[in-house]
Structure 1
């Protein structure tokens, strides 16, 4: 085989060993926390029609999608993000369910971007979505659930909060087309505010330009005054919407602070996805420069796909980046499962599997090997950091016994088949090879 094919394609990885254990741990913990907070699982397909994402995911997503034509000539895409798929599933299968609907997912996503540290072309997201709830409580619900998860796995984090409605309402009133709005917000998201204002200067009046320029440099405390000073430019409906967004942002930030989280308002945070309509936020860890997740409101995204207007909010956490943050923090450890190796030599294999079944029922990970050399099998046990080796040879099989060896201390004992599971459990939990109490 050509050596090129042995390597994974650029930007994707083989996740093995401790990295795979960390990945599984993070996913299992997320699922447990999501269920604890009332979310139901959903498993979207990896492949969707490309138009699903082109409709409202933003220019950056459109440019980075993996798009291909199937044998029938249909344009398909590997999903670059998951929210659009969730909305499609809601419209197709969940519209009749009582609202609000709480969903969670763990899924791979794909984007053709330049690979770099903490950025891959295939990456994992864990997400939460609430559909059918307009209140700020829904925003706090998903944010709290994600924070509880991060706290539980030992990731110290803070919030950076913004609100795209502050910009969209003014641009709507200035008659800026939606596609241009998406481009402007994308430019702001990259930190290129001068470029964004220069683009706006060609299509809006100086009054609107000044207001948007002020928004980029205004603290949250001063935004209410800026909104009220704009009454001459905006209708009452727009003023009301802006004040509601201001209060939502304030309640969200104050509530998180009262829960003990660090929160900062950043007027230049707009995020890269075009479907956001209001409150947005990101999670930051002091272990990584990049955000480890983020979310916000996407009210009305359902109507983009031909459904009724629904109030919605959600977030996604980057499992790969969280794993990096965990491994960067030397004070955090993942408890690797203590395994048992059952070694069969010149004995019926069924003896090993009878013991294996009893260990599995006790929740003890174990596996069986057949060998001609006990020494070689014990060397394998050492290399695999196995906690306990159980030897079943011809003599043990005849006598109805097994030899239990504590791989850490080197002690071993011959016990009856019925005694073995409890002794093994005792060794794994306590260490020394003494009688279980």
Structure 2
């Protein structure tokens, strides 16, 4: 028995390591082993922290709730998840995309190459038994980039891939935001034109229409982070704010003769818009030598929701404005103009975006961003590959479910079983199993009653699982090669030859 217990501990070690220990960003987890379980010698992590002593799980009552920020999927929730994922998949296939997947566990370096991103501080990361730094994936795009580089020229361009994968982020939880979630990604690699972004937005609109969401419920905010490579000031702050905001800021700075030293500081403050009260934004801008007139002008322009207004302010010569105009023109051809609007304040948190960016939002303003994406033409070089034009989006499963609840559009997905097969005599259990096997061989779903139950129980069971037919195996009928078939919706009952069951 002692050997068996030891073996059980060894088998469970990876799960104990990952889930029984609180994972904090950039923390090192003590690795359990048969020797370390018996040892009380503390081990220091990379940051000098000391691991907690082993927990005696035999004496500890197990918490029946899942870890904070994660979910169970009992049958009714699993049916909803499958329904949602099937819609993700069917839309992707409609648009000619191929499905891929990646490991949930990736190297930590895959996510920390891009400095200054919030995502770095939200990693579930640790050191494995081989002293390798690894992390649970917080998003899918870096894994996509890694796989594209790995495949190289063996995959013809353009690449159109989609994935539905589990992601992990250690972050503050709000409505629609969990530490564990599933994400639908669609990505196009090798298309430099904004037709790529237009196609992606069209696919999301198609998905919304399939599940009953309209343009009155959801819209897309569109902006751009197109950089001016020749402008060093832009390059220094490009990770902080969208390019359009930079252009506007530069315009205002020039108009009001604000010192150039205030440029980067003002960019950092502008990035806080929507995160802190507007009065705080104004105070911080005043502190970096912007006059009240300059602040009001700047905030007025950044609140623009019209591409025409922006063009009047910045002119139409810039590449960012030109691409935005092309996207809005394509939206008319695709038929989703009413879904999109220009919004100069859209940033997107990930630093790898380089052009058009977009966010799906709840028009009632009750929920956080539903989805988001854009162009990331220079992502591959971050991982040592050759840059290829690329764009894509991520769409989480949590917020859309909250939106469907808000709009009372959650589908009714009851369990539905075609047949219940029951023997009327304990000696006929084998015969009932034969009938079930015949029907299953013909592709029909069968719930076989495995115990000797009274008919009252069987009928209740059939009603609860929404069975279409009840098939009873009785002695007299079975001797003639027959079974009794009852259609539960009408009450019609008849005898049918076993070989003729359909």
| Band the TM-score falls in, shorter-chain normalisation | 0.7 to 0.9
1:225 Cα deviation after fit: 3.1
Deviation at 1:282, TM superposition (A): 2.0
The residue aligned with 2:31 is none
**Match of residue 307 from structure 1:** 385
Please give the secondary structure, in 2, of the residue aligned with 1:379. Answer: helix
TM-score between both structures, scaled by the size of structure 1: 0.81
Shift of 1:415: 2.2
Q: 1:409 Cα shift?
A: 4.6
**Pair 1:217-2:327 in alignment:** no
Aligned-residue Cα RMSD (Å) equals: 3.5
d(CA) in 2 for partners of 1:171 and 1:4?
A: 59
Per-residue CA deviation, residues 34-53 of structure 1 (Å, 9 max, x unaligned), is 11211011111101112211
Partner of 2:183: 125
Q: Matches of 2:271 and 2:439 in 1, distance apart?
A: 55
Decide which of 197, 208, 213 is 1:155's aligned counterpart.
213
1:373 aligns with 2:441: no
2:370 aligned to which of 274, 285, 292? 292
1:403 aligns with 2:484: yes
- Indicate the residue corresponding to 2:400 in structure 1: 322
Distance (whole Å) between structure 2 residues aligned to residue 374 and residue 300 of structure 1: 68
- The whole-number CA distance in structure 1 between the counterparts of 2:376 and 2:152 is 17
- Label 1:7 to 1:151 Cα distance change in 2 as closer, same or farther (>3 A): same
Structure 1 unmatched runs, 5+: 230-238, 422-437
1:261-320 CA-to-partner distances (Å, cap 9, x unmatched) read 422222212122221222122223458523322211111111111111111111122223
- Following TM superposition, by how much is the alpha carbon of 1:122 offset from its aligned partner in structure 2, in angstroms? 0.8
How far is the alpha carbon of 1:358 from its aligned partner? 4.7
Cα separation, 1, equivalents of 2:351 and 2:138: 13
Task: Label 1:348 to 1:102 Cα distance change in 2 as closer, same or farther (>3 A).
Answer: farther
User: What SS is found at the alignment partner of 1:280?
Assistant: strand
Residue 147 of structure 2 aligns to a residue whose secondary structure is helix
**Alignment partners' CA distance in 1, 2:339 and 2:97:** 25
In structure 2, C-alpha distance between the alignment counterparts of 1:316 and 1:97, rounded to whole Å: 22
SS in 2 for 1:272: coil
- Deviating more after overlay: 280-289 vs 127-136: 280-289
> How far off is 1:240 after superposition?
4.1
Q: CA deviation at 1:215?
A: 4.7
Bigger drift between 59-68 and 371-380 goes to 371-380
Q: Cα distance 1:327–1:360, how it changes in 2: closer, same or farther (>3 A)?
A: farther
- CA contact 1:80–1:109 (8 Å) conserved in 2: yes
| 1:233-267 Cα distance to aligned partner (Å, 9 max, x none) | xxxxxx643343343443355445x4464222222
Q: Structure 1 residues 17, 170: CA separation in 2 closer, same or farther (over 3 Å shift)?
A: farther
**Contact (CA 8 Å) 2:320, 2:355: kept in 1 or not?**
no
Matched position secondary structure for 2:72: coil
Larger CA deviation: 151-160 vs 246-255: 246-255
SS in 1 for 2:236: coil
Point out the more displaced range, 20-29 or 385-394. Answer: 385-394
Q: Give 2:170's match in structure 1, choosing from 112, 118, 125.
A: 112
Alpha-carbon separation, structure 1, partners of 2:235 and 2:194: 28
Distance 1:155 1:43 in 2: 28
Residue 352 of structure 2 aligns with which residue?
Answer: 275
The question of 1:140 aligning with 2:198 is answered yes
Offset from partner CA, 1:76-131 (integer Å, 9 cap, x none): 11111111111111111254322110000010111112223211111111110000
Q: 1:202 to 1:40 in 2, by over 3 A?
A: farther
1:210 shift after superposition:
9.4
Q: Select the structure of larger CA radius of gyration.
A: 2
1:336-347 maps to which residues of 2 (within 5 A)? Answer: 336=414, 338-339=416-417, 340-344=419-423, 345-347=425-427
Measured at CA, do residues 198 and 81 of structure 1 come closer, stay the same or move farther in structure 2, by a change above 3 Å? Answer: farther
Q: Cα distance 1:195–1:298, how it changes in 2: closer, same or farther (>3 A)?
A: farther
Q: TM-score, normalised by structure 2?
A: 0.71
Q: Aligned partners of 1:384, 1:347: CA distance in 2, in Å? A: 26
Look up the match of 1:87.
145
1:391 aligns with 2:472: yes
Give the Cα–Cα distance (whole angstroms) in 2 for the partners of residues 362 and 260 of structure 1.
Answer: 47
Gaps of 5+ in 2: 1-57, 243-266
Q: CA deviation at 1:161?
A: 2.2
Residue 190 of structure 2 is aligned to residue 190 of structure 1? no
Query: Does structure 1 retain, via aligned residues, the 8 Å contact 2:76–2:413?
Result: no
Q: Does 1:55 align with 2:106?
A: no
Match of 2:444 among 355, 364, 367: 364
| Cα distance in structure 1, aligned partners of 2:278 and 2:391 | 27
Partner residue of 2:250? none
Contact 2:221 2:343 in 1 (8 A): yes
How many angstroms apart in 1 are the aligned matches of 2:232 and 2:280?
20
CA contact (8 A) 1:299 1:313 kept: yes
Residue aligning to 2:131? 73
- Give the SS at the match of 1:115: coil
Q: Distance in 2 between matches of 1:299 and 1:9?
A: 37
